[in-house]
A = this chain, B = another copy of it.
Amino acid sequence: MKHPLPALAAAVCCLATALPAAAQFQKPEDAIKYRHSAMTLQAAHFGRVAAMASGRAPYDAQAAAENASIARTMSTIAFAGFAPGSEKGAPTRAKPDIWTDTAEFKKYADQLQTAMAKLEEVARAGGGADALKGPVGDVGKLCKGCHDDFRNEKLSN
């Protein structure tokens, strides 16, 4: 890929707020499947950047930028899947607290999106694997923190 990704941040940064979440899903299971999909892709692409940061995968500046970009895009759309009314309807690990302690959950969402934006910025700058370590760690802490607080150990219906 020869082109930089300058407008991707602008392109996706407002999706989560621009599209009213509640109106996007006809059934609760649609929202659940949607958020699972976004989380799966987010984890896959973030994981590839994290592997470079930790030395488990060879550093590749272009691949780091592309994967960070996709991961960031997913962080901006995933939260729309936690739509009102989608607490149940298909197997989910989402705790009900997401829909009662929405301010705290929203804080994680905002922090993650900011951390993902930083990671993409650093990845695009192409400063090597070491430069990725801090931003990757910041994202990882937010993943863990939110999962600890808002995700159950096991799926429930």
Contacts and interface: CB of A to CB of B under 8 A. Distances in A.
Contacts of A66: 11-12, 15, 18-19
Contacts of A15: 1, 66, 70
Interface stretch (A31-39, A96-104, A126-134, A138-146): A31-39
B63 A19 contact: yes
A70 B77 contact: yes
- Chain A interface size band reads 20 to 34
Nearest to A41: B37
Q: How many copies does the complex hold?
A: 2
A12 B71 CA distance: 12
A151 interface: no
A18 B41 CA distance: 17
